[in-house]
Chains A and B, each alone.
Chain A
């Protein structure tokens, strides 16, 4: 185990595999958040929605042995939380930043409470979404190991990216979402219901966050612990800015962040002569650098964080 081995196949495969796996919850949550922001609503409650999704998916999977049922319940819970956020921020026009934080705290507190009353102790499940080897493709050396031996939710996350791109840029719905986020008054004049579109995107954002939580608890980790998202929901919000409010940009950001995270872990394992404290900071520093470099190149949706009032 020395520094020279950092370029070995084990490390390259390890870093890329870890990066892709770590990226999947970020992709779900950030794509959901992106739709909300594209329609003009900033939801800072992603972390709380993820925690609720993570717990409910885990609990249902533990009880029934069926991760699909767990995922379904996480989707429902995410939808409820997203809808509640939409009521507060769209219907009641509350300040989005603050109401989002409120939903973060609700999600965190409620998931802790449910964990305490329903489970009481940390458990591991073996009935989650385990890695699936894609026939033939998974046998390709190196590439097969990196890309085609992941769990099903990871495949779903990456499949979501082109779908999100298609919806956003190639459908009427996507056009409406963008219009509502850029110029809600113009959209309103043309007969687009600003409230309906925002209710839809914020609720779907909740669904995606719920799925992101499930990806963590029943696919990547097979364990639930209180507050296990450890800030991932906030990173997901940052990734939307990082990705310039574009699906592939968000995916690129999530992958970059996760791969650097994977790389710093392997650099510690192979005793890279840099203190671990600096290696741990690497993904965050890189994110800040990229954000600074992209300032001015991308523009946020004009109506972001602005509640719509018909004049």
Chain B
């Protein structure tokens, strides 16, 4: 093969590599000045978890605001490397987007560096409550989810559903949103039935599907018959639960996971970020570019429990779950540990 051919082939290969790595984007049109949002997400928009919850919310907001002519959004997914994400954040800000969302608390440090360079761009990141206002930065919003609330409700349901009196948790790492959710779940279980044993495994990774599966199998071997978990890797755990053919049940969080295993999933806590997005958009239009921390809760309906109506045993627990939701909303139940 001639040198020229080699060069062409290598270039083609290079183009393929770059093409494969390029973030999925929808090109904005410049015609009638829609509100333009760019989002950086750590995992895939179809992860059935954290990233998908934001993607679904943006699709919803776009419909509410009258389609892509009024509200445009572009996204970069699978930005698990923080330096790549930082480059994308800076790039989007430089392109003049009205709002740049860094969907992950791990991007906070990058945002703290970048936001002061673009004082006319609004930024948002979560889940965290750090807006960097104390550091003199005024154009960063923070958002978080009171995931312990739905965790508590799932705990109540798990306590009612378990026959073996053993429930299991598959978590990624014991910090942040995952810890909050798990803490709420444990409290919900204990306050419903203190005799129940709660087992916990952390995989140390948001992506290791195989390990999540082994964690679920270990729980099942130890006698657990209701499992929960948080993080993108839980699909492995759900597959393990599904293989038990209905003897073991699953309660989901972040996005609806019911489609994955409709026979064993009882309910999901859903994050509806539309609630905080509406608020942030409203404030930006009034000229406030940041400096505030917002939260989705059961009370403001940014969190809600989606039941799997097709699950036959739902009737036995739905009333208890609804009572717990009411209790959390009216303050008679404290879902914090």
Contact = CB atoms under 8 A, between A and B. Distances in A.
B235 A105 contact: no
Contacts of A115: 46
B47 interface: yes
B243 A230 contact: no
B217 A14 contact: yes
Interface string B213-246: 1110111011000000000110110110011000
Contacts of A92: 6
B211 interface: yes
Contacts of A102: 13, 17
A112 B20 contact: yes
B11 interface: no
A146 interface: no
B22 to A, nearest CB: 8
B221 A14 contact: yes
B82 interface: no
Interface stretch (A134-142, A159-167, A237-245, A260-268): A260-268
Interface stretch (A68-76, A216-224, A285-293): A216-224
Interface string A267-288: 0111100001100110000000
Contacts of A221: 209-210, 213, 236, 239
A182 interface: no
A281 B6 CA distance: 44
A222 B243 contact: yes
B68 interface: no
A298 interface: no
B48 A268 contact: no
A281 B219 CA distance: 20
B193 to A, nearest CB: 16
Interface in A98-132: 102, 105-106, 108-110, 112-113, 115-116, 120-124, 126
A228 to B, nearest CB: 5
A226 interface: yes
A270 B222 contact: yes
A18 interface: yes
Contacts of B19: 109
A108 B213 contact: no
Nearest to A15: B218
Contacts, number: 143
Contacts of A42: none
B281 interface: no
Nearest to A120: B46
B218 A265 contact: yes
A193 interface: no
B96 interface: no
Given A1-B199, A105-B20, A280 B222 contact: no
Contacts of A230: 205, 207-211, 233
A10 interface: yes
B191 to A, nearest CB: 20
Nearest to A91: B1
Contacts of B213: 220-221
B203 A280 contact: yes
Contacts of A250: none
B48 A232 contact: no
B236 A223 contact: yes
B259 interface: yes
B21 interface: yes
Interface in B159-214: 166, 168, 173-174, 197, 199-205, 207-211, 213-214
Contacts of A269: 168, 199-201, 218-219, 222
Contact of B210 (A110, A120, A124, A216): A216
Nearest to A265: B218
Nearest to B168: A269
A30 to B, nearest CB: 15
Given A109-B20, A230-B205, A268-B202, A225 B47 contact: yes
Contacts of A225: 44, 47, 209, 232-233, 235-236
Interface string A137-161: 0000000000000000000000000
Contact of A18 (B168, B205, B214, B239): B214
B210 A122 contact: no
Nearest to A88: B13
Contacts of B211: 230, 261, 265
Contacts of A110: 16, 20
B32 to A, nearest CB: 30
B15 to A, nearest CB: 11
Contacts of B233: 225, 230
Residue among B222, B259, B260 having the largest count of chain A Cβ atoms under 10 Å: B222
Interface string A192-222: 0000000000000000000000001000111
A107 B71 CA distance: 34
16 contacts: A92-B6, A106-B17, A110-B16, A112-B44, A122-B260, A221-B213, A221-B239, A223-B209, A223-B236, A225-B233, A226-B78, A228-B236, A262-B218, A269-B200, A276-B200, A280-B203
Given A1-B197, A115-B46, 19 more contacts: A14-B222, A88-B13, A105-B17, A106-B20, A110-B20, A122-B235, A124-B239, A126-B243, A220-B213, A221-B239, A225-B236, A226-B43, A230-B207, A262-B214, A262-B218, A265-B218, A276-B174, A276-B204, A277-B204
User: Considering the complex of A and B, which 9 residue pairs feature the smallest CB-CB distances, nearest first?
Assistant: A109-B20, A280-B204, A230-B208, A276-B202, A230-B207, A268-B201, A223-B239, A14-B221, A228-B209
